[in-house]
Amino acid sequence: MKIVILDWDTMTSGGDISPEKFNRLGDVTVYGLTSPEQTAERIADADAVLCNKVLITGEIMDKCPNLKYIGLFATGFNNIDVDAAAARNITVCNSGRYSTNAVAQQVFAYILDHYSRIRQYDDAVRRGEWTSSPTFSYFPFPTGEIAGKTIAIVGYGSIGSRVAQLASAFGMEVIVCSRTYHDDLPYEQTDLISAASRADILTVHCPLTAETKGLADAKLFGAMKSSAVFINTSRGPVVNENDLAFALRSGSIAAAYTDVLSSEPMPEDHPLKGIDNCIITPHTAWAAYETRVRLNSIVYDCLEAWSKGSPINKVN
């Protein structure tokens, strides 16, 4: 079996993870990154292609007559035309539940950053402000306890439910907004606007679909408290970024933390760039070393299962 990996550089930091294990399943060719113009040529005679974010359309599939399998180093599969793949008997498999712990951890890194002000106090100490303080304790930046705060969780899949568990451990009040009603949910479930109006923190964990695109918009931000924090670690297009920028600049909400944008890498003219109360990380929530090792193993297991005639994580 001829296997082509199109964007291995999205999986490794300084070579800390190797694609070598895929050699057990066939003849492997690895590319660090692949441009749209290179895709068809590079997988022209491949039986299986593995990628993270490379776009594979029906037109590309038509140029690859041997292609039978597309495996994703990701949960989302919007970069693959799954209907075109199904029509051509090409199996598409994604990788679910690999990043639950890492993403939930980053959500709380954001929350703790906002309420404990670690960055601001470290900067103040480095500037010498503590050494010149007349009192032993120097606290010009207001801090707060997260115990007792209300966190609204939009989307109750593996990550959303893990965030809820951690929030409960911190003594927070948890409310959930989900497209699916859960009879056994240990938390209050309500609609989106009601959740937003009560939240001290609103964190988004839903997939990107036609229904969720632009979900976080002016109406949502207008319903939130002026002291509230908005967090997005799902997908960039879930948020209307112009509306978020306006909400932050106008003081409609206190702060936003986002790990994802509608266009990545971040363009120079992005509406959220340079806003003081908007903290942006470059799509790192999923990227913990342990998470990437787990993801690599899931992709391998999916390809091996398909090669044996019993595909898992099939999305088409």
Domain ranges of the chain: 2-98+289-307, 100-280
CA distance 154 to 164: 11
Which stretches of the chain drop beneath a pLDDT of 70? none
- The candidate with the shortest Cα–Cα distance to 224, out of 250, 242, 201, 190, is 201
Q: Among residues of the chain, what percentage have pLDDT more than 70?
A: 100
Superfamily of domain 100-280: NAD(P)-binding Rossmann-like Domain (3.40.50.720)
For residue 24, the 8-state DSSP code is G
What pLDDT was estimated at residue 66? Answer: 97
Burial string for 56-88 (b: 16+ CB within 10 Å, else e) reads bbeebbeebeebbbbbbbbbbbeebbbebbeee
Q: Is 235 a catalytic residue?
A: yes
Is there a common fold for 2-98+289-307 and 100-280?
A: yes
Residues in the chain: 316
Instruction: Label residue 127 exposed, middle or buried (CB < 10 Å: 0-12, 13-18, 19+).
Output: exposed
What pLDDT was estimated at residue 96? Answer: 87
Q: Is 283 a catalytic residue?
A: yes
What pLDDT was estimated at residue 312? Answer: 97
CA distance 308 to 285: 33
Catalytic one of 235, 241, 292, 294: 235
What CATH code is assigned to 2-98+289-307? Answer: 3.40.50.720
pTM for this model (two decimals): 0.94
